[in-house]
């Protein structure tokens, strides 16, 4: 576990913040999936157009963005005070507040609360935070079944799959695939089910309704928590959130500590910024705002779990802490040329796209997600789209520098940093690069079954961990020189 | 050390020495729509229709007849009514129609009903949003969630122009439900489907001030 200024990061081995492969490798595999790229290109361009239309109709959009940015910056500067105030208000209104240092502690807490409520099943409304900590796996290990109720999350869960977009987690699935998943995984699904979205949605409604009506415990995330009043907010479209927030006797809400906002009035800013940036709607179909427990209306037991899991490590970085301002609208994903081609899975974390590239490495420690800050062309589209004006390109550059700096400070350089340094040295000079390529060509004779086991130094450090594809007999540079007779 | 003390301690450690706090929040956005009362109502109606809602603009005297007509139109026969709904607004139940006052009906019982009639705390013209605060005539949050048809009665004076005007008027402690059109999803290939878990259909009767 690496640390930044002494703050513990999210522990490994639990939850979904780290991929099994570096971004560049995972991205290459994703690029080979043409169905995925078609779905993504179609989806992101549709959402982009919708967003542009509804953002364009507000004459004060820039003023709202600036207010949003300022509120978030102010919140972070006094985060301890606002969290204490939130705790006090929620408690005064009949709720119980719990604190969790990390994913392991949060999972243990929630599992205990569900068990105490005597439940073996829970209904969950979409929550990236619970996905971040791997709550479903922890509940399953304790014999508790978690039913995802957001349509896309249900598709992902029944497909034994991972979400690939913040807003449309099943964006990588088409209707035929979804129909097959439902037929295979939904007990009692009508074999005559068509792949029309309306029919698939109706099947999900039927499948979930009995679970909602019988649920004793609901688990949710939160989009906002107002310190001043103790009010929690969930923004959604389908009504599954409302079901989870109102039907069960017990409600457990898991929230990252950065989601607190200072004042009731601040809602007027975020409830304008979020829906327009996110789904490209003037307002999302449903927003629920609740304060503690209301006798006779909704859950009579309310638990709020405040989660750190690496957020204080991000807070300790005065530049990097901006990533905590994120309201998870996903606008930066939809405008990102890299995301549009690779999709969300390549990022290896529940937080994909530009925001994931700056948030995940800070939560885990840069070392453990070192490829993500490089998953960008620094085109700046994300910054333009971000409703709270997070300067993602600058953060990416900052994290790259941090990565290099942290490597330098380690006494024994890691093989990767040596390779990177060597590669940088080689690529900085056309002469050296050409020589290295020719040396690589010499490796052709050594290549068996089309792979090269070792490259000559200094590139050998790279092949010590993986195979390199066999280079063509003639490099482009050699061909150019032979054809044109000029060295470049 | 408790987790609470440790997390708060980490936050203080992380913030230590970061210098002066950022200044006041610039609130240069619009706090009022600057529209006349008629314009506000027109804007709300237009937005609601955009969401596929039917909007009836009527005088107080026309409300009961409009309620009966809307229910007939949507085929809602067994309809739940929250306590405290303005009695003058309800027609005497047409033949075959039944109004059931909520006295803590179970979710399963609500699931067997066709619709719900509620009032509202306010509405927001700019976004086509109706806000329920569980006050008299609005009832528990589940009432406007489980039955498949929601008919909402709104007085003209309850319509605010912009989101900030609504936030200023609302009471924070109440459980609030903001509703903007019928429940919807675009999770399958981004094609919009209405009526996932909440009501498939939302209609609004907008009652002119007397
Ligand atoms: S970084 Fe900004 S644009 Fe991206 S998801 Fe967060 S709030 Fe939205």
**Ligand 1 and A275: CB distance under 6 A:** no
CA-closest candidate to residue A52, choices A380, A339, A331, A340: A331
Rounded to a whole number of angstroms, the distance between the first and last alpha carbons of chain A is 46
Last residue of a domain, which of A264, A287, A312? Answer: A312
- Nearby residues of A347 by Cβ (< 8 Å), 6 or more positions away: A19, A23, A26, A353, A356, A357, A360, A372, A375
- Using CB atoms, which residue from B29, B104, B196 is nearest to A151? B196
Please tell me the distance between residue A277's alpha carbon and the centre of ligand 1 in angstroms.
9
DSSP secondary structure of B11-53: HHHHHTT--SPP-PPP--S-SS----HHHHHHHHHHHHHHTT-
Closest atom of ligand 1 relative to the A392 alpha carbon? 1
Q: Are B157 and B195 in contact (CB under 8 A)?
A: no
Residue A293 lies in a domain: yes
Distance, CA of A124 to CA of A110 (rounded, Å): 12
Q: A415 phi and psi, to 5 degrees?
A: -55, -35
What's the pLDDT score for residue A484? 56
In this predicted model, what pLDDT tens digit does every residue of B168-195 receive, in sequence order?
999 999 999 999 998 888 888 888 888 8
Answer whether B1 touches A (CB < 8 Å): no
Closest atom of ligand 1 relative to the A277 alpha carbon? 8
**Pocket perturbation via mutation, ligand 1, pick of A224, A259, A275, A328 by most ligand atoms within 8 A of CB:** A328
Q: Report the helix count and the strand count for chain B, using DSSP H and E.
A: 5, 12
Answer whether B103 touches A (CB < 8 Å): no
Distance, CA of B175 to CA of A287 (rounded, Å): 11
| Contact state of B7 with A312 under an 8 Å Cβ cutoff | yes
Please tell me the distance between residue A326's alpha carbon and the centre of ligand 1 in angstroms.
5
| Contact state of B22 with A70 under an 8 Å Cβ cutoff | yes
**Ligand 1 and A329: CB distance under 6 A:** yes
Please tell me the distance between residue A331's alpha carbon and the centre of ligand 1 in angstroms.
6
Q: Tell me the average pLDDT across A170-174.
A: 84
- Could you say which residues from 70 to 99 on chain B have a Cβ atom under 8 Å away from some Cβ of chain A? none
Q: Tell me the average pLDDT across A299-311.
A: 98
Residues A234, A237, A239: CA angle, nearest 5 degrees: 80
Q: Tell me the average pLDDT across A81-109.
A: 98
**Cross-strand pairs, B99:** B79
- The CATH number for A78's domain is 3.40.50.10420
Distance, CA of B54 to CA of B78 (rounded, Å): 20
Please tell me the distance between residue A399's alpha carbon and the centre of ligand 1 in angstroms.
17
**Ligand 1 and A388: CB distance under 6 A:** yes
Closest atom of ligand 1 relative to the A355 alpha carbon? 1
Which residues does chain B have within 8 Å of residue A239's beta carbon, measured at their own beta carbons?
145, 183, 196-199
CA-closest candidate to residue A320, choices A370, A374, A273, A360: A360
Largest CA distance in chain B: 74
Residue of A nearest to B180 (CA): A285
Domains of chain B (ranges; CATH) run 36-207 (3.40.50.10420)
CA-closest candidate to residue B133, choices B169, B165, B164, B175: B175
Distance, CA of A262 to CA of A81 (rounded, Å): 9
pLDDT greater at residue A306 or residue A460? A306
Task: Judge if A122 and A264 occupy the same domain.
Answer: yes
User: In which domain, by residue range, is A33 found?
Assistant: 3-312
**Side-chain-side CA neighbours of residue A109 (13 Å):** 23
Answer whether B124 touches A (CB < 8 Å): yes
**Ligand 1 and A327: CB distance under 6 A:** yes
Q: Are A291 and A231 in contact (CB under 8 A)?
A: yes
Question: Does pLDDT of A378 surpass 90?
Answer: no
Question: Does pLDDT of A320 surpass 90?
Answer: yes
Residue nearest to atom 3 of ligand 1 (CA): A386
Confidence band of B142 (pLDDT split at 50, 70, 90):
very high
Task: Judge if A144 and A282 occupy the same domain.
Answer: yes
What's the pLDDT score for residue A36? 78
- Using CB atoms, which residue from B3, B26, B199 is nearest to A70? B26
**Pocket perturbation via mutation, ligand 1, pick of A327, A356, A362 by most ligand atoms within 8 A of CB:** A327
Last residue of a domain, which of A278, A293, A312? Answer: A312
Q: Which two tokens stand for residue B195?
A: 């009526």
Confidence band of B94 (pLDDT split at 50, 70, 90):
confident
Give the gap in angstroms from C-alpha A304 to the nearest C-alpha of chain B.
13
Residue A441 lies in a domain: yes
Answer whether B35 touches A (CB < 8 Å): no
- Nearby residues of A473 by Cβ (< 8 Å), 6 or more positions away: A441, A444
Question: Does pLDDT of A103 surpass 60?
Answer: yes
What's the pLDDT score for residue A473? 46
Residue nearest to atom 2 of ligand 1 (CA): A386
Q: Are A480 and A488 in contact (CB under 8 A)?
A: yes
**Ligand 1 and A385: CB distance under 6 A:** yes
Confidence band of A340 (pLDDT split at 50, 70, 90):
confident
Residue A118 lies in a domain: yes
**Ligand 1 and A390: CB distance under 6 A:** yes
Distance, CA of A409 to CA of A428 (rounded, Å): 23
Q: Which two tokens stand for residue B49?
A: 């229709």
CA-closest candidate to residue A475, choices A447, A439, A449: A439
- Using CB atoms, which residue from A6, A100, A237 is nearest to B3? A100
Please tell me the distance between residue B200's alpha carbon and the centre of ligand 1 in angstroms.
31
**Ligand 1 and A332: CB distance under 6 A:** yes
Last residue of a domain, which of A266, A295, A312? Answer: A312
Least confident of A25-39, A262-276, A291-305, A373-387: A25-39
A438 upstream amide cis, omega within 30 of 0: no
**Count of pairs with CB atoms under 8 A, one residue in A, one in B:** 247
In this predicted model, what pLDDT tens digit does every residue of A218-257 receive, in sequence order?
999 999 999 999 999 999 999 999 999 999 999 999 999 9
Alpha helices in A18-102 (DSSP H): 23-31, 34-56, 61-77, 79-92
The interface pTM score, or ipTM, of the predicted complex is 0.96
Distance, CA of B210 to CA of B207 (rounded, Å): 9
In this predicted model, what pLDDT tens digit does every residue of B100-117 receive, in sequence order?
999 999 999 999 999 999
- Nearby residues of B132 by Cβ (< 8 Å), 6 or more positions away: B118, B120, B121, B138, B141, B144, B176, B177, B179
What's the pLDDT score for residue A353? 92
Give the mean pLDDT of chain A.
84
Distance, CA of B78 to CA of B96 (rounded, Å): 8
Q: Tell me the average pLDDT across B151-172.
A: 97
| Contact state of A288 with B177 under an 8 Å Cβ cutoff | yes
Q: Rounded to two decimals, what is the model's pTM?
A: 0.87
Residue A420 lies in a domain: no
**Ligand 1 and A43: CB distance under 6 A:** no
Q: Which helix (H) or strand (E) holds A287?
A: strand A286-291
Residue nearest to atom 6 of ligand 1 (CA): A326
| Contact state of A284 with B180 under an 8 Å Cβ cutoff | yes
- Using CB atoms, which residue from A60, A257, A281 is nearest to B30? A60
- Using CB atoms, which residue from B15, B127, B134 is nearest to A297? B134
Residue A97 lies in a domain: yes
**Pocket perturbation via mutation, ligand 1, pick of A73, A390, A391 by most ligand atoms within 8 A of CB:** A390
Residue A30 lies in a domain: yes
**Ligand 1 and A330: CB distance under 6 A:** yes
Residue A101 lies in a domain: yes
Please tell me the distance between residue A320's alpha carbon and the centre of ligand 1 in angstroms.
14
Q: With 0-12 CB in 10 A as exposed, 13-18 as middle and 19+ as buried, what is B68?
A: middle
Residue of B nearest to A83 (CA): B8
- Count up the domains in chain A and report the number: 2
Question: Does pLDDT of A273 surpass 80?
Answer: yes
Residue A256 lies in a domain: yes
CA-closest candidate to residue B41, choices B167, B208, B203, B168: B208
Q: Are B143 and B118 in contact (CB under 8 A)?
A: yes
Residue of B nearest to A315 (CA): B14
């Amino acid at each position: 576990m690496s640390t930044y200024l002494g703050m513990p990061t999210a522990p490994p081995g639990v939850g979904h913040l780290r991929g099994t492969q570096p971004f560049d490798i995972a991205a290459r595999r994703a690029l080979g999936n043409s169905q995925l790229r078609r779905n993504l290109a179609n989806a992101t361009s549709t959402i982009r157009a919708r967003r542009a239309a509804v953002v364009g109709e507000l004459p004060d959009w820039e003023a709202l963005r600036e207010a949003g940015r300022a509120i978030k910056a102010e919140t972070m500067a006094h985060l301890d005070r606002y969290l204490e105030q939130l705790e006090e208000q929620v408690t005064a209104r009949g709720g119980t507040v719990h604190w969790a240092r990390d994913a392991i502690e949060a999972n243990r807490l929630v599992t205990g609360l569900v068990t105490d409520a005597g439940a073996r099943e829970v209904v969950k409304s979409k929550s990236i935070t619970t996905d971040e900590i791997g709550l479903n796996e922890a509940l399953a290990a304790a014999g508790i079944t978690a039913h995802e109720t957001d349509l896309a999350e249900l598709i992902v869960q029944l497909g034994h799959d991972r979400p690939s977009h913040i807003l449309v987690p099943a964006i990588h699935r088409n209707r035929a695939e979804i129909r097959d998943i439902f037929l295979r995984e939904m007990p009692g699904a009508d074999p005559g089910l068509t792949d029309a979205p309306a029919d698939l949605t109706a099947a999900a409604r039927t499948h979930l309704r009995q679970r909602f009506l019988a649920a004793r415990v609901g688990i949710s995330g939160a989009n906002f928590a107002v310190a001043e009043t103790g009010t929690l907010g969930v923004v959604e479209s389908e009504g599954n959130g409302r079901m989870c927030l109102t039907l069960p006797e017990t409600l457990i809400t898991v929230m990252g500590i950065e989601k607190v906002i200072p004042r009731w009035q601040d809602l007027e800013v975020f409830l304008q910024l979020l829906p327009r940036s996110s789904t490209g709607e003037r307002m999302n179909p449903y927003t629920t705002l609740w304060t503690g427990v209301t006798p006779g209306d909704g859950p009579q037991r309310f638990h709020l779990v405040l989660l750190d899991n690496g957020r204080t490590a991000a807070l300790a970085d005065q530049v990097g802490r901006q990533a905590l301002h994120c309201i998870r609208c996903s606008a930066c994903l939809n405008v990102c040329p890299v995301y549009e081609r690779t999709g969300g899975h390549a990022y290896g974390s529940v937080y994909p796209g530009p925001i994931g590239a700056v948030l995940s490495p800070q939560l885990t420690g840069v070392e453990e997600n070192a490829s993500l800050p490089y998953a960008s062309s620094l085109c700046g589209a994300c910054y333009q789209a971000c409703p709270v004006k997070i300067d993602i390109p600058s953060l990416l550059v900052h994290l790259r520098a941090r990565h290099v700096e942290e490597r330098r400070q380690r006494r024994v350089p890691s093989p990767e940093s040596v390779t990177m340094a060597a590669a940088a040295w080689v690529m900085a000079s056309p002469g050296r690069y050409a020589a290295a390529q020719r040396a690589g060509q010499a490796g052709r004779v050594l290549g068996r079954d089309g792979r090269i086991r070792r490259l000559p130094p200094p590139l050998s450090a790279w092949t010590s961990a993986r195979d390199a594809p066999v280079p063509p007999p003639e490099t482009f540079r050699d061909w150019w020189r032979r054809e044109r007779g000029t060295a470049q | 050390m408790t987790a609470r003390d440790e997390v708060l301690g980490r936050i203080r450690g992380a913030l230590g020495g970061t210098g002066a706090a950022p200044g006041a929040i610039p609130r240069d956005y619009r706090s009022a729509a600057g529209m006349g009362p008629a314009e506000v109502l027109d804007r709300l109606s237009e937005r609601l229709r955009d969401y596929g809602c039917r909007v009836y603009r009527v005088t107080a005297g026309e409300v009961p007849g409009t309620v009966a007509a809307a229910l007939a139109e949507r085929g809602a026969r067994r309809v739940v009514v929250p306590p405290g709904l303005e009695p003058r607004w309800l027609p005497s139940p047409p033949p075959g129609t039944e109004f059931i006052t909520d006295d803590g009906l179970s979710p399963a019982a609500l699931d067997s009903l066709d619709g719900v009639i509620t009032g509202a705390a306010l509405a927001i013209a700019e976004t086509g949003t109706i806000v329920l605060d569980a006050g008299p005539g609005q009832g528990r949050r589940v009432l406007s969630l489980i039955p498949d048809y929601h008919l909402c009665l709104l007085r003209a004076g309850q319509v605010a122009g912009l989101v900030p005007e609504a936030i200023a008027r609302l009471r924070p402690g109440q459980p609030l439900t903001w509703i903007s059109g019928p429940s919807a999803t675009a999770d399958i290939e981004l094609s919009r489907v209405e009526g996932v878990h909440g009501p498939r259909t939302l209609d609004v009767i907008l009652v002119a001030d007397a």
